[in-house]
Amino acid sequence: KARSRAGGHFFLSTNKDSPPNNGAILNIAHIIKHVMSSATEAELAALYIMAKEAIYVRIILEEMGHTQPPTPMQTDNACAEGVVNSKIQPKRTKAMNMRFHWLRDRQCQEQFRILETR
């Protein structure tokens, strides 16, 4: 079966526009269960999976006394970054899974900062 895959790694760094990678503290590789209709939708699913895990890391760090700025998340898909940052309004948002709109909400709450890798 053709399935989309999501992968990412988490690392602790400084609060900069382009944070330097100083070694992973958590690696995730995941097969997306649902069939995605486009590359953008697959990237949004991957961002959602990573953001869901990042919430736990953020909570742990805050409980240890380390206040957290918006967590930067990078994607290599300009359309996915545009959808989350509300720069692009897809024609078929009704068909998109509601979980992906959760990313927009968390971005507005300043928990995440979605960036496009150039």
pLDDT at 73: 86
Q: Encode pLDDT of 40-98 as tens digits.
A: 888 888 888 899 999 998 999 899 998 888 888 888 888 888 888 878 776 665 556 67
CA separation, residue 111 to residues 1, 20, 28, 66, 92 (Å):
35, 19, 20, 14, 26
Model confidence pTM above 0.95: no
Task: Work out the average pLDDT over 88-111.
Answer: 77
- Give the other-Cβ count within 10 Å of 56's Cβ: 10
- Give the other-Cβ count within 10 Å of 100's Cβ: 20
Q: What is the mean pLDDT of the chain?
A: 83
Collapsed DSSP state (helix, strand, coil) of residue 116: strand
Task: Work out the average pLDDT over 10-38.
Answer: 81
